[in-house]
Amino acid sequence: MIIISNVIAFLLISYIANSFLSSKYSKNKYLAILFIFITLESFINHTGASPFKGIFLLIMYFLYVFIQFEGKPIQKIMIIVPFFLIQVISEILVAFCLNNILFIEITRNAFSHGFLLGTIFSNTILAIFVFFYVRILKLIQADNLPKYTWLALILPIISIIFLLDSDDYFDLLNISPHVLLTTAGLAVSNIILFIIFISAINSTNMKHKLQIAEQKEELINSKLDLLSQHYDYNFKFLHNLLHTCSQLNSLFNDSNYIEATNVLNKLSDTAFKEFNAIYSNSYILNYVINNNLTKIIDYNIDIKTVIKYSDFKNLDYYTQLNLFEYLINLSIDSCLQVATSDKIIIIKSVKTANKIILKLFYSASSIDKYNIEKNINEILFNKYNSLSIRNIDNLFISILISFDIPS
Q: Would residue 387 count as lying in a domain?
A: yes
User: Could you tell me the sign of the dihedral formed by the alpha carbons of 312, 317, 320, 324, in that order?
Assistant: positive
Model pLDDT, residue 363: 93
Domain closes at, from 151, 182, 203: 203
Q: Would residue 215 count as lying in a domain?
A: no
Q: Do residue 50 and residue 188 come from a single domain?
A: yes
Domain closes at, from 165, 188, 203: 203
Give the whole-angstrom CA distance, residue 246 versus residue 241. Answer: 9
- Nearest Cα neighbor of 94 from 61, 117, 62 is 117
Give the whole-angstrom CA distance, residue 189 versus residue 204. Answer: 22
Per-residue pLDDT for 144 more than 90?
A: no
* DSSP-derived pairing of the beta strands 386-392 and 22-23: unpaired
DSSP 8-state symbol, 301? E
Residue 401's pLDDT band (cuts 50, 70, 90): very high
Q: Do residue 51 and residue 174 come from a single domain?
A: yes
User: Which residues of 237-354 form beta strands (DSSP E)?
Assistant: 301-307, 343-352
Domain closes at, from 179, 203, 227: 203
Q: Would residue 380 count as lying in a domain?
A: yes
What are the DSSP calls for 58-119, one per residue? HHHHHHHHHHHEES-HHHHHHHHHHHHHHHHHHHHHHHHHHHHTS-PPP-S-TTSHHHHHHH
Q: What residue numbers bound the domain in which 109 lies?
A: 2-203
Q: Do residue 18 and residue 103 come from a single domain?
A: yes
Per-residue pLDDT for 149 more than 80?
A: no
Q: Do residue 196 and residue 284 come from a single domain?
A: no
Q: Do residue 26 and residue 171 come from a single domain?
A: yes
pLDDT in tens, 327-338: 999 999 999 998
CATH of the domain at 336: 3.30.565.10
Give the whole-angstrom CA distance, residue 215 versus residue 312. Answer: 14
Give the whole-angstrom CA distance, residue 375 versus residue 381. Answer: 10
Count of structural domains within the chain: 2
Residue 372's pLDDT band (cuts 50, 70, 90): very high
Q: Do residue 199 and residue 283 come from a single domain?
A: no
Q: Do residue 6 and residue 120 come from a single domain?
A: yes
pLDDT in tens, 40-76: 877 776 665 555 667 778 888 889 999 999 888 878 8
